[in-house]
Chain A
């Protein structure tokens, strides 16, 4: 297979708002990252790829087929949406099980596979808790579990790391990498380049609904490193965490804008994300979640698009 997904001149409008603007790109085998700031059109592209939106213009293929109204193809996909939450009263186990039953899996098998998938994403301990009691990172992992539990050929992951805590990020990235190592294909969106860089070199950059660059990540790394990368932490101990992170020589600024928030800027995001889980584990500081405001990436895109 040469390309898992291909888009040729795809446009999508929401009324007068342009979601995708003649988007053309090819997503190869293995893991491909779709990187762009919020509102760039990442979710729109993924919704088109899973057949839940219909393109106004252009052609789109996933696994060699047109995804629009292509119900049988859904068996071959695992989709992890960014925002969706299916019934908070369901436990993680029930949530994954219910979706596996929709694939036509027998009840006993669905139960077993749901447990296995939740174990893979590290949610076994919370499998029987209602998902409304989950942290954002736990919900992301539950959604990842449902996406991969039915053994799809392609995983389409919309910001799977959004809001996840450092340990959850490690777990999610490891699960995605294992899936790809086992022959699966992954299309993953993020607005944080450094996250995807840890598991693949193949990226497509999207901005204002257009693919502005694609291919090897290293070509734009130097450019990106010129712009300090911001990370916002949600923690009950922002000052203690700031003290711990200040030891990294590549951290250029620390800011506590609210009682439960810490914002840092680093010139070496890859090193930062690599060292972070160790620091958090060693200091035993509570980190409820972290995310990267996309202003640093925005600067790079502004440069790329002139």
Chain B
């Protein structure tokens, strides 16, 4: 018997920089996510529901909110849509919880880190995979709503553009918070279901008790514990809506601090991870 095989020859090759290497991780991650029915459904239903409900509010403003002025403060209504909270949480748990946990579980992390990739590169790429998907729910519908409202002539373009700008800022902050917290939870475990449960616990485990306790005790300061209430405080302040129980600078500080601390903790956690097998 004879076997004929091609032979290996060494080659010289030009190499691209860090940006291209990060893009390779992001493209692989997004390609994976858009092959998963859960991601597609969460994205389509989340964007669709938030957008449709926001536009319905715009179209039937008089019926839903009699007396609501057609000014910037109206756009607090779509920004405070509870569907945003639900679908952002769903997206973070469906997509984000697996991003690091799966790599730890399958030990794909070993292969990533056997390349010229730092832990920071890896985490930035993972964040850049998750953030666009979350922002499709937290930002996109809030941008499209004023746009549609202005197109229909229900609001002036000046107000609509201002609302778009504020919505982008608010949505990005909310996206950053959920991205960093989700990646932190994902880095703590090799089981994505645990991380997913953690995301729901952060959202509803903080929001619902904070709401119940603050109203029963009559202490609105407890609402600071809820990221959703912090976000709403910021949205009220940004759009000039009334009824703010919280000071927006504190709410902003809490959301930013939580985002930064979760990011740092994830980085430190990943630096400490030793990939053990065999």
Contact = CB atoms under 8 A, between A and B. Distances in A.
Interface string B244-278: 00000000000000000000000000000011111
Contacts of B32: 87, 89
Given A71-B118, A87-B28, A171 B5 contact: yes
A178 B7 contact: yes
Interface in B184-239: none
Interface stretch (B18-26, B47-55, B137-145): B18-26
A105 interface: yes
A95 B93 CA distance: 26
Which of B9, B15, B17, B24 lies at the interface centre, i.e. has the most chain A CB atoms within 10 A of its CB? B24
B152 interface: no
A43 B278 contact: yes
Interface in A85-134: 85-87, 89-90, 98-99, 101-106, 109, 113, 119-120, 122
B10 A81 contact: no
A174 interface: yes
B10 A103 contact: no
A182 interface: yes
A148 B111 contact: no
B5 A86 contact: no
Which of B8, B20, B112, B117 lies at the interface centre, i.e. has the most chain A CB atoms within 10 A of its CB? B8
A102 B112 contact: yes
A282 interface: yes
A82 B114 contact: no
A98 B24 contact: yes
B169 to A, nearest CB: 33
A84 B111 contact: yes
A75 B15 contact: yes
A209 B28 CA distance: 37
Contact of B276 (A53, A74, A174, A277): A53
Given A89-B35, A98-B24, A106-B14, A158 B278 contact: yes
A170 B2 CA distance: 11
A218 interface: no
A146 interface: yes
A221 interface: no
A207 to B, nearest CB: 15
A81 B118 contact: no
Contacts of B117: 71, 74, 102
Contacts of A60: none
Given A79-B114, A103-B116, A171-B5, 10 more contacts: A42-B278, A44-B278, A47-B274, A52-B113, A53-B275, A84-B277, A105-B13, A106-B20, A148-B8, A150-B13
Interface of A: 14, 38, 42-44, 47, 50-54, 71-72, 74-75, 77, 79, 81-87, 89-90, 98-99, 101-106, 109, 113, 119-120, 122, 146, 148, 150-151, 158-159, 167, 170-171, 174-175, 178-179, 182-184, 277-278, 281-282
30 contacts: A14-B276, A43-B278, A52-B114, A53-B274, A81-B107, A81-B111, A83-B107, A83-B277, A84-B106, A84-B110, A84-B111, A84-B277, A86-B108, A87-B106, A87-B108, A98-B28, A102-B25, A103-B15, A103-B21, A103-B115, A104-B18, A105-B15, A109-B13, A113-B11, A120-B5, A122-B5, A159-B278, A171-B5, A175-B8, A184-B10
Interface of B: 1, 3, 5-18, 20-21, 23-25, 27-28, 32, 35, 106-108, 110-118, 274-278
